Amino acid sequence: MKILVISQYFWPEICPLNDLVLGLQEKGHELTVLTGIPNYPDGKFYSGYSFLRPRTENLSGVRVLRVPLIPRGKGNKWRLILNYLSFAWFSCLLAPFYCRGKYDVIFTYQTSPITSVLPAILLKRIKKIPMLLWIQDLWPDSVIAMKAINSSFIINLITQLSKEVYRCSDRVLVQSKEFIEKIAALGVNKEKISYLPNWADKNYYPRNIDETPEIIQEIPKGFVVMYAGNVGKAQSFETILLAMKKLSHYQQLHWVILGDGSSYEWLKAQIKINNLTTNVHILGRKPSNLMPYYFAAANCLLVSLRNEPIFALTIPSKLQSYLACGRPILAALGGVGAKIVMEAQAGLVSAPEDSEGLAHNIEKMYSMHHEELNKIGLNGRDFYEKNFSRSVILDRLNDLL
């Protein structure tokens, strides 16, 4: 099949779509990707890119078409809005000229914002071909949960836009089964909705930390609780901070934070204010290819979310990476993410925003024997292979296509 993929984010930006595109190519499909100029997450164009150049690239045989956009900058609200709207505007303006070839289907990767799907709907109507929409962020619920918009008029506008986008899609794919009822409530026929979860990058599997002595030197000796990913408001770092304070008397218990985000500077300041610098180690963002080695250096991996209805419906993307690397998981969240950890017997679960429960579970893992922790980690890896592996999900997507 000739597949046109549309996404605001794509290689060299770190994005699950990159591996999906290569996976579909491996299955014999011919792919073209319409995307923007790479600028995520640093907010400035990557080296070798500018507002207008390059327009076309080739990634291992995949044709990549790039439209201009305004870079996200430091991520303040108005700059993000300009970034989102500029991609939608330039894509709709240029896509009919850039994508003049014949395609069998349009595949759209929908993260936030939902406006990124507008060029796909335009091309679907021009070319009269079906469109598959793979939803990562459920709108309007995601934007409402983040409390980023207070205007009831704008929220209503986004709700109507979301309904129209989902209804226009010939097939709606969801990364969590819990999305299905929400989307059906927006007037979408349930028969059009299919479950297609994410998988971890093929780089994520159990590693030997001894292969990377430079990482060993970064990680403190003792029992290591590691958090990796976005350090933002959605992850409820207030809860994590309270748990850190409750357990500060354990001298051999160390917290390692990998990542960046809107709460990063706040967290660094709080660690100093609360005299936690001996046991909390904030290492910033690390290269994606090294993350499995960092995970191997941890005794357990932490995933947390705020207590919001939308987050109970969502599978945090880092959960698949944690499971794939075979490390015990500390889950401070509810809903589908908690169910997966419990069903896989891959770790311990506490309620979202429950610092007491999180601290108790850390103490429980801290007291476990090394062999018991390894068994829990292997449970997670086994569950990943059966439910979230690349081959299983690509086969399912290929059937849907």
* pLDDT averaged over 10-residue windows placed end to end, the chain, 401 residues: 95 89 94 95 90 90 95 83 92 94 93 88 94 87 68 80 88 91 88 91 85 85 94 92 95 94 91 94 91 94 92 89 96 94 96 96 95 95 93 91 89
Long-range contacts formed by 141-144: CB under 8 A, 24+ apart: 141/182, 141/309, 141/310, 141/313, 142/112, 142/310, 143/112, 143/113, 144/310
pLDDT at 308: 87
Residue 8 per-residue DSSP state: S
Do 247 and 253 form a contact (C-beta atoms < 8 A)? yes
Q: Phi and psi for 287 in degrees, rounded to 5?
A: -60, 140
Output the CA torsion 98→100→104→107 (10° steps).
Answer: 20
**pLDDT of 86:** 94
What per-residue confidence (pLDDT) applies to 78? 83
**pTM, 2 dp:** 0.83
**The predicted structure's pLDDT at residue 36:** 95
| Whole-number Å distance between alpha carbons of 90 and 68 | 6
Q: How far is Cα 373 from Cα 370, in angstroms, rounded to an integer?
A: 5
113 upstream amide cis, omega within 30 of 0: yes
Domain 2-196 grouped into CATH 3.40.50.2000: yes
How many angstroms separate the CA atoms of 3 and 6, rounded? 10
Residue owning tokens 């809860």: 239
- DSSP 3-state of 140: coil
Taken as a whole, the chain contains a residue count of 401
Residue 12: is the preceding peptide bond cis (ω within 30°)? yes
Q: How many CB atoms lie within 10 A of CB 339?
A: 16
Q: Report the alpha-carbon distance of residue 195 to residue 178 in Å, rounded.
A: 9
- What residue spans define the domains of the chain? 2-196, 209-387
d(CA 346, CA 326): 8
Cα(129)–Cα(124) distance, integer angstroms: 5
| Tokens 């190519």 found at | 25
- What pLDDT score does 108 carry? 93
pLDDT value, residue 310:
83
Contacts of 281 (CB under 8 A, 6+ apart): 220, 254, 255, 256, 257
Distance in angstroms (rounded) separating the CA atoms of residues 122 and 138: 21
Question: 209-387 domain in CATH 3.40.920.10?
Answer: no
Element (H, E) at 106: strand 105-110
pLDDT at 147: 66
User: Does residue 223 contact residue 194 with C-beta atoms inside 8 Å?
Assistant: no
